[in-house]
Structure 1
Amino acid sequence: MTAPFILVTDCDLPGTVIEDTLRGAGLRADRAASGSPDDIAVLGAEAEGLVVQWARIDGDLMDRMPNLRLISRVGIGYDMIDVDAATARGIAVANTPSYCIEEVAAHTVAMIMTQARGLPAYDRAVRAGTWKAVDARPLAVRPSTTTVSVLGFGRIGSLVARGLRGLGFRVLVADPYAPADAVREAGCEPVGIPDAIARADILTLHVPLTDATRHLIDAAALATMKPGAVIVNTCRGPLIDEDALAASLRDAHLGGAALDVFAGEPLAADSPLRDLDQVLLTPHAAWYSPEALADLPVHAAQNIIRSFAGESVPIVNPSFAAAR
């Protein structure tokens, strides 16, 4: 019997760890010449599994791969895959949700604390020869009198919420899928999304990017936020309307933002976010540590290996089986 063929559509991580891991498990594996639909389809006609990083996988492309039964994402988010189209075709979609939980949570808390204590402004002032403790911008808070709203109480959001509670912050959690008792057991207050946004001194986002959450933070939502509030996003860039965010910051309604992810990446050279001193920017780096870099491609390959062996993997569309 011929071993199943797995196609790696694209991957910007160093080396060939994905292919090596798949081949080590007895599967056939190769990489597409590029992430374009035509290049994927050249080898994809016989593929039973795909490993995807950034390539767009839509229903038309799936139809060119009639043997496909599992798509494994190299990463946590999966908005580059048309999950509804996959579900309708009986194709499972898996992600790699556990490879960087600690890193993203730590990066998020670091961003929150950097803004909450005004560290960028202090740093610039000292370098410019100013020595004045009372000039922190946008904030210099006491945790016990500061409310942080966490949107999303999954693996990362729950770790962020617990960490912030440990530092003494008041923490609100908005997640319609999280049991209220679990939120309360973490020392946090369960609330609805509009309430969380309106009451936040600091708002941090930890929800998946879907049609329903795209531009969740738009001009209308920003207008409900407290004057001087701060937004932190280490999740998905399109959750925020960046033009509306920049306008709110320029108008001094919001006090600041800390952003690791953006609607387009790399962040455009002419993005107004680059020119705002109260915005802290990092290059989609929250996931990174040497350990996470080593784990990520292996986890993506193991989704294929384990699933084909009949084992459980983190499927994001469990209803796919109904279409088979």
Structure 2
Amino acid sequence: MPAVVITEFMDREGVDLIAARFDTVYDPDLVDRPQALDALLADCRGLIVRNRTQVRPPLLAKAPHLKTVGRLGVGLDNIDLGACAGAGISVLPATGTNDETVAEFVMGALLSLTRGGAFQATADVAAGTWPRTRFKARDAKGLRLGLIGFGAIARQVARRARAFGIAVAAYDPFVSEGDPAWALADRRCADVGTLLDGADILSIHVPLTDATRHLVDAAALARLPAGAVLINTARGGIVDEHAMVAALKSGALGGAMLDVMEAEPVAAGSHLAGVPNLLLSPHIAGITKDAVLRASLLVADNVARVLEGGTPTVADAARGR
């Protein structure tokens, strides 16, 4: 039986790295075949997952020898950290491997949305309708970006936004007032409401918790300036999607981009279908071949180190970029 089980897609170099040190089963479809996964857990000592595998007490009960869980990403809402800690299982996320990748995605969404959907005009142009006056485009320079959360990814967004002449404000009660990171923002907000009041662009960078679920609801959206745009690359559930759809349909919200949804994958014919000025992508903001390689190598090496009795490396030291 394998010592290491990998349940979702991983770069081949990462798979080969850990397979050279431990008997490994790599099957990116295991997440959708629970019976097959259960059969592999009995002797498993290292488990590597993405965001779909639910590492919770029912799974842990089937893996009595599990020592470590590697997460090919940074969000940990699919892993019961308390249950893992109670069982002496270390959790190893790929922190630092896709900060810049997500920030680039946010900037791409920002520039597309502030152009009022012009980048979605291909079908009209090809059909000869030539809709030059339809789009309500704005220059990015001079706009105000509000960041809910000011961790590593948000700070990378701030750096890029300021290079475009965008004023950056941020709210994060977990970053101390004296933290030098605030130098990357033009303004530190004491509360979410103040941030919302002055944000032409709102970008979310916090985990999904009881406190952040539906943080951006109808009341929050109503505080944004008319025509503001919303970007969520953090976690589905932070935005009240029904409230967002209503704001888009009324025109109060100028546009939105969701890379993460409350239900993934989205069901056909959902409330997100056919909504004006809404861009959707399938949870890929942090996924490029470069970021996947960095995460795979880091997590594979760290899982192997733990199983060998060693200490995981610091993520930022292993980024290679």
In the superposition, the TM-score normalised over structure 1's length comes to 0.84
Give the drift of 1:119.
4.5
Looking at structure 2, the residues matched to 41 and 188 of structure 1 have their Cα atoms a distance apart, in angstroms, of 51
* Aligned pairs for 1:266-285 within 5 A: 266-285=265-284
The answer to whether the 8 Å contact 1:5/1:46 transfers is yes
Q: CA offsets, 1:286-313, max 9 Å, x none? A: 2232222333322221220233342234
Q: Which residue of 1 aligns with 2:223?
A: 224
Range moving further from structure 2, 296-305 or 198-207: 296-305
171-180 or 218-227, larger mean C-alpha shift: 218-227
Contact preservation (8 Å) 1:47, 1:65:
yes
Q: Which residue of 1 aligns with 2:187?
A: 189
Relative distance call for 1:257 and 1:148 in structure 2 (3 A) is same
Matches within 5 A, 1:301-316: 301-308=300-307, 309-313=309-313
Asked if residue 158 in structure 1 is aligned to residue 155 in structure 2, the reply is: yes
Aligned residues of 1:44 and 1:64 also touching (Cα < 8 A):
yes
String of CA shifts for 1:176-195, please: whole Å, max 9, x gaps: 22233424311431112232
Q: Is the 8 A contact 1:95 1:314 kept in 2?
A: no
Amino acid at match of 2:58: D
| Conservation of the 8 A alpha-carbon contact between 1:51 and 1:73 | yes
| Cα distance in 1, alignment partners of residues 49 and 82 from structure 2 | 17
**Cα offset for 1:129?**
2.0
Q: CA deviation at 1:72?
A: 0.7
Structure 1 stretch 179-188 or stretch 84-93: which is displaced more? 179-188
In structure 1, what is the Cα distance between the partners aligned to 2:253 and 2:110? 15
Instruction: Tell me the residue number matched to 2:107.
Output: 109
Q: Shift of the alpha carbon at 1:4?
A: 8.9
- Secondary structure of the residue aligned to 1:213 is coil
**Separation of aligned partners in 2, 1:276 and 1:128:** 21
TM-aligned CA distance change 1:108 to 1:184, over 3 Å: same
Tell me, yes or no, if the aligned pair for 2:148 and 2:206 is still in contact at 8 Å.
yes
Correspondence 1:43-82 to 2 at 5 A? 43-53=40-50, 54-82=52-80
1:27 aligns with 2:26: no
SS in 2 for 1:76: coil
Q: SS at 1:143's partner residue?
A: coil
Shift of 1:148: 0.7
Equivalence map 1:63-142=2 (5 Å): 63-120=61-118, 123=121, 128-132=129-133, 135-137=134-136, 139-141=137-139
* Structure 2 Cα separation of the partners of residues 272 and 208 of structure 1: 23
Once structures 1 and 2 are overlaid, which stretch shifts more, 34-43 or 95-104? 34-43
Higher deviation after alignment, 239-248 or 185-194: 185-194
Q: Secondary structure at the match of 1:303?
A: helix
Percent of aligned positions that are identical? 31
Distance in 2 of aligned mates of 1:64 and 1:283: 30
CA shift, 1:117, in A, is: 2.6
The residue identity in structure 2 corresponding to 1:156 is: I
Q: Deviations over 1:183-231 (max 9, x none)?
A: 4311431112232223211100111222322222122322332222110
| Alpha-carbon distance in structure 2 between the residues aligned to 1:313 and 1:307 | 10
Q: Quick one: distance in 1 between partners of 2:290 and 2:161? A: 24
Count of aligned positions: 306
CA RMSD, 1 decimal:
2.6
Q: Which runs of 5+ in 1 are unaligned?
A: 316-324
CA distance in 1: counterparts of 2:101 and 2:219, whole angstroms = 31
How far apart, in 1, do the equivalents of 2:106 and 2:306 lie?
32
> Amino acid of the residue matched to residue 264 of structure 2?
E
Partner of 1:322: none
Structure 1 residue aligned with 2:319 = none
Deviations 1:36-62 (A, max 9, x none): 554333221222221112211111221
3-state secondary structure, aligned to 1:239? coil
Partner secondary structure for residue 204 of structure 1? strand
2:70 and 2:303 mapped to 1: Cα distance? 7
Aligned to 1:319: none
Does 2:13 match 1:12?
no
Map 1:285-304 onto structure 2 (within 5 A). 285-304=284-303
